[in-house]
A and B are shown apart, each in its own frame.
Chain A
Amino acid sequence: MTQVALEKLTKRYRPAAAAAVNGIDLTIDDGEFVVLLGPSGCGKTTTLRCIAGLESVSGGAIRFDGKVVSSAQVSLPPERRHIGMVFQSYAVWPHMTVAENVAFGLKLKRGLSRADIDARVKKALDMVGLARFGGHGVYQLSGGQQQRVALARAIVLEPRLLLFDEPLSNLDAKLREQMRVELRQLQQRLGITAIYVTHDQEEAMVIADRIVLMHNGGIAQIGTPMDIYAKPASLFAASFIGQTNALLGVVTWGHGGATRVRVGDGLELDSADAGFAGGNEVEVLCRPEQLALSAARPDGPNVFQASVEQIVFMGNSADVFLTRGGLKLTAQISPAAHWPPATELWVKIPPEFVRLLPRQKD
């Protein structure tokens, strides 16, 4: 229900220190579910807490629907921002029952009768699947249930913005998978703008309308999950999201819609990426699932042999570690198969899946 705009947002914890968030620009549309994704220390949680008003801002501004809520001069306190927030530790209050936790914010508002409050609490608990738990003390609940209480508490106030700070990281794997789908469904039903912080790229891809990939206090790339996965703009983006084979190469020739590049000990690959000239140094990227493996020689471009080092069985898929000369590659095959080590296999990579990026000097 609210558009959030970050304008050159900067946050420094100590005046002389490096900025935790370094001048980022971002606009989040009404009703959008945006995920801030990145490794520890990239600034995603700091950004979220600035949006919540739990941290002050060193520079730049945060606007809700055009109005400034945070800047270096001014900070609207968190209780006046009309946001709901779900914390990593759940933060459900141990001295209150489930219903009292959810009703807390409602009781602070004026003009709501007891009956109103009870009705809204009931509706919120229904929505998160805790209809029968209103009278329970929170210590009786499991982690997943406590998280739902936190969620109910956040949505019962009908906030204009929902913030999530790694809410699922304390849950076990199965529950995480289930909850992230439920969270997305809930948000879609309510249509509330949501900002979600996580370091788990799988979670991000399931939940997000758009992913904001962050690194070292800045934004590395913004895009839909499919865009970022298929077209990573940097080596960081390619390796953080999904798995990637990354090789150093030199362009042999490039024209029109194709480029040929040489990697390692002389292996030449064709790529459908354009815009490179002979002699350019490039990063050659391809996803493990795009390597087709076979015992017999297939037709087509980008076909070469490699030998199996090790196979790791993952259930519905297997990771195959290959070597060729000095090159190491990982392939992913599904369903899983098995070859003994030192088997020679034929590898084929379609040119449209050989991505090229200019070589980044660190």
Chain B
Amino acid sequence: MSASYLAGSGAAAEASSPDGASAAAGRGMPRLLGALAWLALAAAVVVIALIPLVYAVDAQFYRESRVGLSAERSLAAARDVYLGAEYWGYLFSAMVLAGLVTLFSLIVGVLLAFLVGRTDLRAKSVWDMAITLPLYLSPFTGLMAWIALGSEKTGFVNGVWTGMMRVFTNEPRALINIWSYGGVVFVMFLFFCPFVYLFTVGSLRAMNGSLEEAARTSGASPLQTIFKITLPICSPSILAAGILVFVLAAETYTIPGIIGANAGFTVLPWKIFEDSVAAPVHRAHAAAGGTMLLFVTIAGVWLQRRMTRVAERFVTVGGKGSQTPPLRLGRWTPAALALILAYVLAADVLPFGALLISSLMKYSSGTLTADIITTHHYRTFFGTQNMLVALWNTVFLALLAGVACVLLGFVISLSELRRPNIATKLLAFASVLPVAVPGLVYGIGLVWTWLQTPVYGTVWILLIAYVAKFLPYGVVVSRTGLLQMHPELEESARVHGAGPLRTITAITMPILKPTLMAILFFVMLMSIKELSASVLLYTQDSQVLSVLTWHYMDAGDYQFAAAIGIVQTLIMIGLVVIVRALFGVRLESAFSR
């Protein structure tokens, strides 16, 4: 039996495996094509990600004209910005703001993470979802909602409050005023806090439970264990989150801009924006200011990467990972619940409710009466051609950007890991660079890169911006997924007859499907809410939902903006829900990479 079993295969083997030398030569052609394809990919990434950056920085060295930049070089703008006090003042302002937002986000975020991650609180998964919900919403729509809630005369909260206070005095003062510095800090805090929460919860989960158990058996109480063991071990992650929040807050211009313009303070990103679009434009100043901002963000991202690497050293991989018994809250339970509910109320419920109600009102008012309700805004939205085009653009661009980031990110990471050499590593590095660049600066650079080309003023420039901005997620997340895959899974395919390409399509990609799906939907989500670059790049013919909300807020039509905001939010929530239900994919994992 064994003879016949093997006789056939012996002959077949002789026939199909030529001498080694010719086999190697026969693979020359596909090799060349592969190299060319890779070169094309590299060129695409350089054009999309790097060239706009170069332009954005270079633009500061030109003389300004009434409508933009003239052709001659000048150091005037650079001198103004770097040597004068004005822009440094704005930078300082941005950093103070960012510092405050970071401080509050850290305190509340870590507290919430411990409450959900380490105590005997009930309904944890509900709180977890509720606390991370703001990540899926646009901070700008959050601002719109809080304007509806917290404006002095027309905000809902104030309306309810003064209604109650009329019992005591004749001239009740408003409770809150969102059009203030405090208002900006508050809204930004609501939307950045989930980052800290996510990083901390992730760190708590990755921690080996026996570290805490060892502390307990050495005599430490649960609270002591938290302060002496758990927190210190989590601190690199927490710090990394804090730095991330600081960088994101420092480069935000939309929220501090809209409020700051009315409340009398200016941050650097807003000044850059104004210099870019408000007449008279000062494009070179904008570029110089943008470069200033770039230093801060690059330094921040570099620091954050260092911290993340330290954090990874503290993670004990492998082992059965026992979980410590949760902390009993006892009489602290009501207080804990109150905190969580307060946050969820402020970040999820009130904004969504306010936005919804606002979108159904004819005009701003602190009190709700029957005659003020209308569906006019929605009817207008769905009845107007450009609105529907904007809706279509939003979804279409999101899908394209998502697919592009998945494919490009996967190929870049795959070539970096499977064929590590100077070229592939450089490409991976270049594609991740945009993460340190504020969307605003990118927008500026993109305008200059494509100004003279037919791409300018179309949706395609928006697509380029989205791909450049979100490709880093595609690269980093697929890299993590690839690293977690045992190389023997691919090797066994090779040994059993599959060539390199077949191995990728039959083995690598299917196994990575959850990761790739997560990237796709994550990028789609981020594209739908992207604002900072879109505002600089859109035109009448190439609008998306996010810039529409901006436009109408700027014009003072808060109710219509709210209606658009609701449509945008529903699309995003729908996406998250569908992805979780159909694919079981948890998008949060992409945030805390």
Residues of A within 8 A of B (CB): 1-2, 52-54, 67-71, 73-85, 87-89, 91, 93-95, 104-105, 108-109, 150, 153-154, 157-160, 163, 189-192
Chain A residue at smallest Cβ distance from B8: A158
A71 and B20 form a contact (CB under 8 A) = yes
- Chain B contact surface mostly: helix
Q: Which of B306-314, B471-479, B490-498 contacts A (4 or more CB under 8 A)?
A: B490-498
Interface centre among B491, B499, B511 (most CB of A within 10 A): B491
In the bound assembly, the distance between CA atoms of A322 and B63 in angstroms comes to 94
| B371 in the interface (beta carbon within 8 A) | no
Q: Give the one of B6, B494, B496, B511 with max A CB within 10 A.
A: B496
CA distance A256 to B31 in the complex (A): 67
- CB atoms of B496 and A87 under 8 A apart: no
**Which residues of chain A have C-beta atoms less than 8 A from B2's C-beta?**
189-191
- A78 with B20, Cβ < 8 A, contacts A87-B488, A91-B486, A191-B2 known: no
Contacting pair B5 A158 (CB below 8 A): yes
Closest to B485 in A: A94
- Say which one of B9-17, B162-170, B220-228 lies at the interface with A: B9-17
Within the assembled complex, what's the spacing in Å between the Cα atoms of A67 and B20? 8
Q: Are B20 and A160 in contact (CB under 8 A)?
A: no
In the complex, B315 has a CB within 8 A of chain A:
no
B497-510 CB mask vs A (1 if < 8 Å, else 0) is 11100100011001
Query: B498 and A81: CB pair below 8 A?
Result: no
Residue of B nearest to A154 (CB): B496
Inter-chain contact B6/A158, CB cutoff 8 Å:
yes
Mask, B1-42, CB within 8 Å of A = 1, is 111011011101100110111011001000000000000000
Could you give 25 example pairs across A and B, Cβ below 8 Å? Answer: A54-B494, A67-B19, A68-B20, A70-B20, A74-B20, A76-B20, A76-B23, A77-B23, A77-B499, A78-B491, A79-B498, A82-B13, A82-B17, A89-B488, A91-B489, A95-B511, A104-B493, A104-B498, A105-B497, A109-B497, A158-B8, A160-B10, A189-B1, A191-B5, A192-B6
State A94–B484 Cα separation when bound (angstroms).
14
- B17 touching A81, Cβ below 8 Å: yes
Q: How many residues of B are counted as interface, with CB atoms below 8 angstroms from the partner's CB atoms?
A: 36
CB distance from B345 to the nearest CB of A (A): 42
Q: Which residue of A lies closest to B25 (CB)?
A: A74
Expressed in whole angstroms, the minimum distance between the Cβ of A128 and any Cβ of chain B is 15
Distance of A163 Cα from B502 Cα, bound (Å): 22
A84 B497 Cβ-Cβ under 8 A? no
How many whole Å from A13's CB to the nearest CB in chain B? 13
Q: In the complex, what residues of A have CB within 8 A of residue B21's CB?
A: 68, 73-74
Contacts of B502 in A (CB 8 A): 108
Which residue from chain A places its CB closest to the CB of B510 in the assembled complex?
A95
Closest CB in chain A relative to B64 CB, distance in Å: 55
User: Which residues of chain B (333-350) have a CB below 8 Å from chain A?
Assistant: none
Chain A residues near B506 (CB, 8 Å)? 104
Given contacts A93-B511, A150-B492, A191-B6, 19 further A-B contacts (CB under 8 A): A1-B10, A53-B494, A54-B494, A67-B17, A76-B20, A77-B499, A78-B491, A79-B494, A79-B498, A79-B499, A82-B17, A84-B495, A93-B507, A108-B498, A109-B497, A157-B497, A159-B9, A191-B3, A191-B5
